[in-house]
Structure 1
């Protein structure tokens, strides 16, 4: 099957539009990245992290700053006549869920393809997203979170999602421990309520949870990085941390 047979209508942002416009489009489409176009030609990509790091964190006015000023020139794409297997390979290797689809002849944007479309069309939102962040200070000295990386996890408990995301973060950033780069993480859980509405709940990192995570990683490594024991190891780590907190120092 070819990509053009499963792709959806193109969604992009123009290079001269504002970051505020891009942010609202990202929210509306419930995605983390958009192709940046100059007319129909893709010239870059803009992500929610670009808006945070190059706009908000630098104290810029996102209602005036253009997408061109914050975008990345790196473009991830496939062609409409590529096979779906090739598109899936590009997404897996680059840890993304969506690709711009270009016409091979003139390189114009003709669509968007998602991993969800390739895997049967289930809901594009994942049950959990773990957002690693660093505390930054604006020009007035006010602290806020600058997003470093957002990782979606499709299966498992919240604890398993956190463990999976931190391992991916450490591998991709090539650090021994996630907190060498990040000050914390938030966990977004997604579920459908009784009325059929999608509900998002964002939970900030607690100090207890962060300590449990570090201890669980130590236990997991000490026991030879076993598979399928995430819940057991998390419970063991939680017990140790809670016991230490009850014992007078």
Structure 2
């Protein structure tokens, strides 16, 4: 299979854009690098490390420094006619996760990532897990007050939630996240067919409201053991999700 069959539409920056704008775009798309093009021709790549080393570390003003000044000119790329095996080898040897794809005239025609080659782009993607405390606003209506957002670079939703809970508990110095937070929402991020960043927010408060009393009941039935909260939560979650899939 050739790269042209797996690549996605190219999202790129102009060399005249500011480093601040580039940083915002990298954060929005949750990626570490973007191609830099002039009139469609690939000039280089700008990475989060370029921004850190050439702008922040040198005390440059990110709102005035341009992408052209900060970018790396030796962009690692492949062509549309390369095999996906060759593209994967290039990425592994260069220790990068994505490549610019060019044609014979060095025109940027797409991008390809290791995730694309592994065939998991629809399931393994960046997530943000947002922990919240539920409070009442001035009108007496429930409102989510954000406690912490945890970004997870890649994985399934289940893996992302697990990693986020561990980080939340470590940061808050608690053994069980729900002693501090009332719930969490999950924001999944992926790149659309035309290269745009698409965010989907899954509100988990209603699901958690069903899980919490069931998990507590399981814990009580087991004799109130310590350090096994996650096991009871997972069992209750499986029960709730199974019932949700069952025909009514």
Give secondary structure in 2 for the equivalent of 1:14. Answer: coil
Query: 1:32-91 deviations in whole A, cap 9, x for unaligned?
Result: 011111121111111111111111121111111101111111110000111111101100
Aligned to 2:95: 95
**Distance in 2 of aligned mates of 1:125 and 1:84:** 23
**Distance in 1 of aligned mates of 2:78 and 2:125:** 19
Give the TM-score, by structure 1 length.
Answer: 0.51
Give secondary structure in 2 for the equivalent of 1:197. Answer: strand
Query: 1:73-121 deviations in whole A, cap 9, x for unaligned?
Result: 1110000111111101100111111000001x21100001011010012
Stretches of structure 1 that go unaligned for 5 or more consecutive residues are: 128-151, 159-192, 200-249
Give secondary structure in 2 for the equivalent of 1:49. Answer: helix
Give the TM-score, by structure 2 length.
Answer: 0.51
Residues 157-168 of structure 1: matches in 2 within 5 Å?
Answer: none
Aligned to 2:64: 64
**Distance in 2 of aligned mates of 1:47 and 1:109:** 17
For the 8 Å contact 2:125–2:188, the answer to whether it is kept is no
| C-alpha RMSD of the superposition | 3.0
**Distance in 2 of aligned mates of 1:24 and 1:123:** 22
Give secondary structure in 1 for the equivalent of 2:11. Answer: coil
Please list every run of at least 4 consecutive aligned residues from structure 1 whose deviation after the TM superposition is greater than 2 angstroms: 124-127, 152-155, 193-199
The count of residues paired between Structure 1 and Structure 2 equals 143
Stretches of structure 2 that go unaligned for 5 or more consecutive residues are: 129-152, 164-182, 190-248
For the 8 Å contact 2:43–2:75, the answer to whether it is kept is yes
Aligned to 1:106: 105
Q: CA deviation at 1:13?
A: 0.8
1:36 aligns with 2:1: no
**Distance in 1 of aligned mates of 2:185 and 2:59:** 40
1:197 aligns with 2:187: yes
Pair member with larger Rg: 2
